[in-house]
């Protein structure tokens, strides 16, 4: 029987019933399924998807191999035509897609719109790349001989994605992989299967030929994700492109390494944001709040450590505390909220655990963020604490770089304040974790900016801007524990989805041997050097 409170709620939206799609057709799965629930409204079952078997993943990869030759032979400008239609569809449906993203993973609607826009921008960029995909002409050392380079597709790419950017991150991978002439088998995050399905449908409607992109649902360990990686050992995949945690990326790297393949691994971060004594402090606090609490801290580029010069730390501390207390948390469909719910229970548990880890390590709680429970909602809260997974912001003070909380990624709304004295200490702290994804520096000093850009180990650096905020045509990726050096986005990602082929064409009609049949150049005699300068008098 419904309570009065339940019957007063608006009716729940429809549940999407999802199925695998490979070999160009919708597949009937007879096995287990899993549910994805709205993290802001637990009663709302957003989608139900199959928990795919090892055999299904294998079949999807076999089918993708069969589709690979025809797609690779399709001229690149024609492949890119699909992207033009994709741009049209995503633009037309931007608002409904953004609302779905907000419902499925709890991203505030303004950010959800931005993540759809990122997919659109990526498609725009790569549509025109279909008319370039340049190779080179290279001069030969021999007459009547020409040298060329060509980009060739790799074959079949297995794509595995995380759920915190359920449209943007898959678009960074799938768009260039397909444009370059590969076929793709995609295992999306079990946190965002519905968004993945809508993106897949958009590709279909855009006219992608059957079998070129396949979607197979399921979990990670001992499930669809792992079964997809197994296809590397089985010889059915030419590459894995993965975005997710460092722990899983490491395992995938091992499998690919023993098969002499280079995966794309976009992993976790513990990103430093440095505030020097001469910084515009209001700007720096704006950037810190956005970097640490935006998307409830569930971004790979979230600011993990806020490293502050001791001369301005009291002011920064006071401003951060005041602003963090005033954050508006709640319903992600409300365009006024600063952040919405945690994406899943696992991230909430990690956030809860970080509190104990910080206190055990000797850090001090300046703001005690915990799960928001019914009856204990902060002022301005607009969510349903009984139905949603919400976390209040946390600020740790007196954090030292050798503490666990300064070293380990925490996917949640939390700030570590680290005190330093001057640029040398700031630089050491900023480079003081094994990660190297993003970084930021706030200062007015041009020499400090130059030094930071030169010495920081991260793959991405912002000057007077927060650690987050990628643009679709700049390389995105990290070093150290944040990735294996491959990059997403812009022209740089082309190297991740193509192999270079070197071709020489000899028109001389005789066997010409490089290095051997080259006419010897005149060797200078020792006397030639003396003649350059007149003898000193
Ligand atoms: P995760 O590694 O647990 O899962 C990511 C994906 O991998 C999911 O699709 C999951 O089902 C799958 N998976 C899990 N275990 C697997 C296994 N053993 N074999 C194959 N697939 C497996 O990541 P998460 O915790 O869900 O996501 C958050 C992490 O992702 C954070 O560390 C974050 O920093 C990172 N991330 C990185 C980027 C980036 O671009 N660098 C972007 C977004 C998220």
pLDDT at 4: 47
Average pLDDT on 136-158 reads 98
**What percent of the chain clears pLDDT 70, i.e. is strictly above it?**
95
pLDDT at 535: 67
List Cβ neighbours of 75 (8 Å cut-off, separation of 6 or more): none
pLDDT at 2: 44
- Tokens 């009291």 correspond to what residue? 314
With a cut of 80, say whether residue 54 has pLDDT above it: yes
> What is the C-alpha to C-alpha distance for residues 526 and 532, in angstroms, rounded to an integer?
11
| Coil, strand or helix at 441 | strand
Q: Whose CA is nearest to atom 11 of ligand 1?
A: 220
pLDDT at 30: 77
pLDDT at 1: 40
- CA–centroid distance, 244 to ligand 1, in Å, is 2
- Give the 3-state secondary structure of 491-530: HHHHHHHEEEEEEEEECCCCCCCCCCCCCCCCCCCHHHHH
> What is the C-alpha to C-alpha distance for residues 56 and 25, in angstroms, rounded to an integer?
13
Q: State which ligand 1 atom lies nearest to the alpha carbon of 268.
A: 34
pLDDT at 12: 75
Q: Whose CA is nearest to atom 18 of ligand 1?
A: 221
List Cβ neighbours of 80 (8 Å cut-off, separation of 6 or more): 126, 127, 128, 129, 130, 131, 179
Question: Which of 162, 191, 267, 298 to mutate for ligand 1's pocket (most ligand atoms within 8 Å of CB)?
Answer: 162
Residue 496, token pair as written in the block: 């991740």
Q: Whose CA is nearest to atom 12 of ligand 1?
A: 220
Per-residue pLDDT reduced to its tens digit, 15-50: 999 999 999 999 998 789 999 999 999 999 999 999
pLDDT at 15: 97
Torsion angle of the four alpha carbons 174, 176, 178, 181, in this order, in degrees rounded to the nearest 10 = -150
With a cut of 70, say whether residue 495 has pLDDT above it: yes
Q: State which ligand 1 atom lies nearest to the alpha carbon of 409.
A: 32
Q: State which ligand 1 atom lies nearest to the alpha carbon of 162.
A: 5
Question: Which of 107, 192, 248 to mutate for ligand 1's pocket (most ligand atoms within 8 Å of CB)?
Answer: 248
Q: Whose CA is nearest to atom 19 of ligand 1?
A: 226
β partners of residue 272: 305
- CA–centroid distance, 161 to ligand 1, in Å, is 6
Per-residue pLDDT reduced to its tens digit, 68-96: 999 999 999 999 999 999 999 999 999 99
> What is the C-alpha to C-alpha distance for residues 508 and 523, in angstroms, rounded to an integer?
27
Q: State which ligand 1 atom lies nearest to the alpha carbon of 301.
A: 34
- CA–centroid distance, 189 to ligand 1, in Å, is 8
- CA–centroid distance, 459 to ligand 1, in Å, is 19
List Cβ neighbours of 452 (8 Å cut-off, separation of 6 or more): 274, 427, 430, 439, 441, 443, 461, 463
With a cut of 90, say whether residue 159 has pLDDT above it: yes
Q: In whole numbers, what is the pLDDT of the chain averaged over residues?
A: 95
With a cut of 90, say whether residue 519 has pLDDT above it: no
| 23 phi-psi bin (left φ>0, alpha ψ -120 to 50, beta other) | left
Per-residue pLDDT reduced to its tens digit, 100-134: 999 999 999 999 999 999 999 999 999 999 999 99
**What's the whole-model pTM score?**
0.95
With a cut of 60, say whether residue 6 has pLDDT above it: no
pLDDT at 259: 98
- Tokens 């490089």 correspond to what residue? 514
Q: So which residues are the catalytic ones?
A: 266, 300
Q: Whose CA is nearest to atom 16 of ligand 1?
A: 220
> What is the CB < 6 Å shell around ligand 1?
160-165, 169, 189-190, 219-221, 225-226, 229, 243-245, 248, 251, 266-269, 300, 409, 411, 437
Per-residue pLDDT reduced to its tens digit, 217-269: 999 999 999 999 999 999 999 999 999 999 999 999 999 999 999 999 999 99
Q: State which ligand 1 atom lies nearest to the alpha carbon of 483.
A: 41
pLDDT at 350: 98
pLDDT band at 346 (very low <50, low <70, confident <90, very high): very high
For residues 273-287, b (16+ Cβ closer than 10 Å) or e, as one string? Answer: bbbbbebebeebbbb
Per-residue pLDDT reduced to its tens digit, 179-199: 999 999 999 999 999 999 999
- CA–centroid distance, 246 to ligand 1, in Å, is 8
- CA–centroid distance, 243 to ligand 1, in Å, is 5
Q: How many other CB atoms are found less than 10 A from the CB of residue 501?
A: 11
> What is the C-alpha to C-alpha distance for residues 234 and 537, in angstroms, rounded to an integer?
78
DSSP 344-405: SHHHHHHHHHHHHHHHHHT-EEEE---B--TT-PPTT--S-TTTS--B--EEEES--TTSHH
């Amino acid at each position: 029987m419904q309570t009065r409170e339940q019957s007063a709620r608006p009716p729940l939206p429809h549940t999407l019933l999802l199925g695998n799609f490979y070999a160009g057709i919708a597949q009937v799965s007879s096995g287990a399924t899993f549910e994805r629930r709205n993290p802001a409204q637990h009663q709302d079952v957003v989608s139900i998807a199959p928990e795919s078997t090892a055999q299904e993943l294998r079949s999807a990869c076999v089918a993708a191999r069969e589709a690979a030759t025809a797609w690779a032979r399709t001229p690149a400008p024609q492949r890119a035509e699909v992207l033009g239609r994709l741009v049209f569809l995503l633009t037309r449906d931007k608002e409904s897609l953004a609302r779905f993203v907000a419902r499925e993973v709890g991203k505030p609607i303004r950010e959800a719109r931005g993540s759809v826009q990122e997919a659109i921008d990526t498609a725009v960029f790569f549509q025109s790349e279909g008319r370039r995909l340049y190779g080179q002409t290279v001069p030969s050392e021999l007459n009547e001989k020409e040298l060329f380079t060509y980009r060739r597709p790799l074959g079949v790419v297995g794509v595995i994605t995380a759920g915190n950017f359920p449209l943007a991150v898959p678009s960074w991978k799938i768009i260039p992989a397909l444009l370059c002439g590969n076929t793709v088998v995609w295992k999306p995050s079990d946190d965002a299967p519905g968004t993945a399905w809508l993106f897949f449908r958009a590709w279909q409607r855009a006219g992608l030929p059957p079998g070129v992109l396949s979607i197979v649902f399921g979990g990670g360990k001992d499930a669809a994700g792992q079964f997809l990686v197994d296809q590397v050992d089985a010889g059915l995949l030419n590459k894995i492109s993965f975005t997710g945690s460092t722990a899983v990326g490491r395992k995938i790297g091992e499998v690919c390494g023993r098969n002499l393949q280079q995966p794309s691994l976009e992993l976790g971060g513990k990103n430093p944001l440095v505030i020097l004594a001469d910084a515009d402090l209001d700007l720096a606090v704006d950037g810190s709040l956005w970097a640490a609490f935006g998307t409830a801290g569930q971004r790979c580029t979230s600011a993990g450590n806020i490293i502050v010069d001791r001369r301005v730390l009291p002011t920064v501390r006071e401003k951060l505390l005041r602003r963090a207390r005033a954050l508006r948390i709640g319903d992600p469909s409300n365009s006024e909220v600063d952040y919405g719910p945690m994406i899943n229970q696992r991230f909430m548990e990690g956030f809860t655990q970080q509190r104990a880890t910080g206190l055990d390590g000797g850090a001090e709680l300046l703001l005690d963020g915990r799960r928001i429970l019914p009856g204990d909602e902060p002022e301005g809260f607009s969510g349903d604490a009984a139905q949603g997974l919400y976390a209040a912001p946390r600020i740790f003070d007196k954090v030292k770089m050798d503490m666990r909380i300064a070293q380990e990624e925490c996917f949640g709304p939390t700030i570590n304040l680290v005190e330093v004295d001057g640029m040398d200490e700031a630089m050491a702290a900023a480079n003081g974790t094994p990660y190297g994804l993003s970084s930021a520096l706030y200062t007015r000093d041009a020499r400090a900016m130059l030094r930071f850009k030169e010495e920081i180990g991260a793959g991405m650096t912002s000057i007077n801007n927060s650690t987050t905020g990628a643009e679709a045509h700049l390389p995105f990726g990290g070093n150290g524990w944040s990735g294996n050096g491959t990059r997403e986005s812009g022209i740089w990602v082309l190297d991740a989805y193509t192999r270079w082929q070197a071709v020489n064409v000899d028109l001389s009609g005789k066997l010409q041997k490089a290095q051997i049949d080259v006419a010897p150049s005149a060797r200078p005699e020792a006397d030639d050097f003396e003649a350059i300068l007149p003898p000193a008098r």
